[in-house]
Structure 1
Amino acid sequence: MAATGSLRRKNHKGQRRAMQVSDKSILFFVGDAPFFVSHRLNLVSGAVAHGYRVTVACPNHPAAIETIRANGADWAEWQVNRGGTSIFGEAVSLLRAFYIIRRIRPTLIHAIAIKCILHAGIASKFLDVPIVGAVSGLGYVYTGSGGGVKGVLRRAINKFMNFGLNRRNASFIFQNGDDARMVEYAGLDRVSVYRIGGSGVDLGKITMRPHPTGAATIVGLPARLLRDKGVYEYIEAARILHRRGRDARFLLIGDPDRTNPTSVKPIELDAWVAEGVVEWIPYTADIASALAALHVVALPSYREGFPKTLIDAAAAGRASVTSDVPGCRDAIIEDVTGLLCPAKNSDALADAIDQLIRDRALCISMGIAARAHAENNFDLDRVTRRHLEIYQERIKAY
């Protein structure tokens, strides 16, 4: 009797798998709906075009949800606090993830960012659903030293990651080789690992426009306004170059992120603008026009996955100045499409920007090379196709 019961369970499991594959359904777990729309919406439209039924589980954001639905996906409300550490709040998010997966019964889950990967990974383990986790940067907990509270959180994440995702039907997509070492930190010796350099860019929407005319060089930092993006070093570099008498304007393009502990405070932003060291432009969806208004893009980040800021800058044909750290150095060709400088070093950042301020011809030639680099490496259609190939590989493997 025991053997018969086991056979029935296996047959039932096989039938469920066959049903899922024929359904071809993908469930995305996302912690930030606007970020998903700006960085990953191509995966929704691409999957829908290839016959997948797509659902996006994310917090409610009316404008972003409307865009997701307009691209053919369903929406499931899933609350997750990206910067929270409340045990109760995390338990609620996990239980809700479990409920959503059990209700939708997807063929495959694609979870984006570490916290979403953890919740969806643990829930999908118990529900026996394959999962692909996309790590677009290791984030605050993995940036810098591993002491104190941050060290405790890092060790806890590694343990939960191992518990929920160290299995044959779990896979990871990393954007650079340094971040891929996370599988070693967490002891994930049974997973499949893929590399895709960035989220891609629509080369038809972001094109190379003529550089601004006029003597003043316009430098911009387009990003969330976080300490880890190098905002404070950028402000100090701007002060240094003003003291040198350089004819340049410095822009911050983006908003603070109140959910991130390293966010710039609004009072600081107001003070910098009042001082005249920078101009502030709030987040804009029209990044193509924002980049066209610049000569140089600066991103002195402490660490990245594969920064979309630099991908977009390349598509716009703009030279970049960025940090010699994982992710950033992967996104440019040093001394061809941009310049590298040490992270957390305002003087070195000022010197690199100054090189482009003083040599407009070099600035423009680097921009032309950057556009060619984008066309060869960052095309959105190519990135979308690679994701779809991975989906199909993981479905067939399961």
Structure 2
Amino acid sequence: MRIAIVINKSWNIFNFRLSLVKALLHAGHEVVAIAPEDAYSAKLVAEGCGFVPLTMESKGTNPVKDMLLIRDFYKAYKKVKPDVILQYTIKPNIYGSIAAKMAGIPTINNVSGLGTVFIVQNLVSKIAMALYKFSFQFPAKVFFQNNDDKQLFLERKLVREEITEVIPGSGIDTKSFQPAAAFKRQEPFVFLMVSRALYEKGLVEYVEASKILKAKYPNVRVQLLGAIDEEGNIGIKRSLVEQWAQEGWLEYLGTSDDVASVVHGADCVVLPSYREGTPRTLLEAAALGKPIVTTNVPGCKETVVDGYNGYLCEVRNGADLAAKMEQVYLLPELQLQTMGQNSRQLAEDKFDEKYVIDRYFAAIEEATK
């Protein structure tokens, strides 16, 4: 069977969906990635995946311009002739679903997060709702990454309940992501946020929390690992990130292809996001045995049992974030270690990627009957 996997970045496929790609290839399927070409496209080909480039802006919100994507998706789908298409991120989910219907190819969509159109209510978000409602008539299956997102789509009548299912994000390979052999509290203590520099990820609140913490504990290290994304109005300017670093509120680590090694050097992973699907960075942190501080919002709250493997804080509240980070900082060494072990246990029990891959195989079988 030929299976297309369609996302807004090749990087996304390689970093978050490679295990699924490998499982499909191992089962004897042909897999073709359809995405904008970047440095990771060749890596997908090296793994045995076909690749067809398709240009799309990951953050553009011009519906008229985006409607032209339907033509581009249609051409790609007619060229590849897949038996089924797996679609992720907003534009493939919406415009790819319409194109696939025109091409007569079944699709399986994954709502991996609601994005800005659900956080900010304006004309663009209203148009997006209408597009979701129209395009989501067509998929054979729509996976959601948390129950809140699924319920929101059902309440707004954007999708039929019988084609929906909740899975824990992309899952996590608990064999590859292993805690360090020996526990070690860092001196000084290290907080780490792994995220692109976006307002909606809560980076401003993270810096606010850093200022509060450092006033009491000057040696605490507060780090950010992730790309600076100045596209659109949601990215924080590089000059501001550099200013925070110069003022000592933030250590900006840039980007890395080996995130796990950076996480190993942290005591606690923090993500003050406004809303998520199921954040991969927190799944990795849990599998690596790290305490987590994150917001009590859909997607994030699923990764923390408050007081067990971390703490939940109020969204858009730097002071409350600082208070929860301080609670972790003040934990005795044995309790800090136990909290990390509890994160690992949660990853094994709730987020192992084998379950996610099995659900995809079942959905593919059902869609191609």
Summarize the Cα distance change of 1:275–1:190 in structure 2 as closer, same or farther, 3 Å threshold.
closer
Separation of aligned partners in 2, 1:334 and 1:190: 30
Summarize the Cα distance change of 1:28–1:365 in structure 2 as closer, same or farther, 3 Å threshold.
same
The answer on whether the counterparts of 1:304 and 1:327 sit within 8 Å (CA) in structure 2 is yes
| TM-aligned CA deviation for residue 385 of structure 1 | 2.0
**1:334 lines up with 2:306 in the alignment:** yes
Separation of aligned partners in 2, 1:263 and 1:186: 31
Separation of aligned partners in 2, 1:91 and 1:382: 35
Q: How does 1:9-20 map to 2 (within 5 A)?
A: none
| TM-aligned CA deviation for residue 187 of structure 1 | 3.4
Separation of aligned partners in 2, 1:329 and 1:89: 35
Which of 334, 349, 356 is 1:376 aligned to?
A: 349
Match in the other structure for 2:278: 306
Amino acid at match of 1:208: P
The answer on whether the counterparts of 2:186 and 2:265 sit within 8 Å (CA) in structure 1 is no
Separation of aligned partners in 1, 2:5 and 2:67: 19
Match in the other structure for 1:39: 16
Match in the other structure for 1:354: 326
Match in the other structure for 2:70: 94
**Percent identical:** 28
Bigger mean CA deviation after superposition, 126-135 or 337-346:
126-135
Match in the other structure for 1:178: 148
The answer on whether the counterparts of 2:269 and 2:293 sit within 8 Å (CA) in structure 1 is yes
Count of aligned pairs between the two proteins? 366
| TM-aligned CA deviation for residue 170 of structure 1 | 3.0
The 3-state SS of whatever aligns with 2:11 is: helix
Separation of aligned partners in 1, 2:361 and 2:107: 14
Match in the other structure for 1:14: none
Which of 157, 166, 173 is 2:128 aligned to?
A: 157
Match in the other structure for 1:139: 115
Query: What TM-score, normalized to structure 1?
Result: 0.88
**1:123 lines up with 2:96 in the alignment:** no
Separation of aligned partners in 1, 2:232 and 2:190: 28
Separation of aligned partners in 2, 1:368 and 1:189: 39
Which of 176, 189, 212 is 1:205 aligned to?
A: 176
Structure 2 gap segments, 5+ residues each: none
| TM-aligned CA deviation for residue 322 of structure 1 | 0.5
The answer on whether the counterparts of 1:78 and 1:93 sit within 8 Å (CA) in structure 2 is no
The answer on whether the counterparts of 1:211 and 1:295 sit within 8 Å (CA) in structure 2 is no
Structure 1 gap segments, 5+ residues each: 1-23
| TM-aligned CA deviation for residue 124 of structure 1 | 1.1
The answer on whether the counterparts of 1:130 and 1:395 sit within 8 Å (CA) in structure 2 is yes
Separation of aligned partners in 1, 2:118 and 2:263: 30
Summarize the Cα distance change of 1:114–1:184 in structure 2 as closer, same or farther, 3 Å threshold.
farther
| TM-aligned CA deviation for residue 243 of structure 1 | 0.8
The 3-state SS of whatever aligns with 1:178 is: helix
**1:64 lines up with 2:34 in the alignment:** no
More helix by share: 1
The answer on whether the counterparts of 1:225 and 1:254 sit within 8 Å (CA) in structure 2 is yes
**1:77 lines up with 2:30 in the alignment:** no
Separation of aligned partners in 2, 1:187 and 1:265: 34
| TM-aligned CA deviation for residue 98 of structure 1 | 0.5
Q: Which has the larger radius of gyration?
A: 1
Separation of aligned partners in 1, 2:186 and 2:168: 35
Separation of aligned partners in 2, 1:286 and 1:215: 22
Query: For each residue in 1:39-74, what CA deviation from the matched residue of structure 2 results, as whole angstroms up to 9, or x when unmatched?
Result: 11112111111122211110111x311121122211
Amino acid at match of 2:134: F
Amino acid at match of 1:74: G
Amino acid at match of 2:345: A
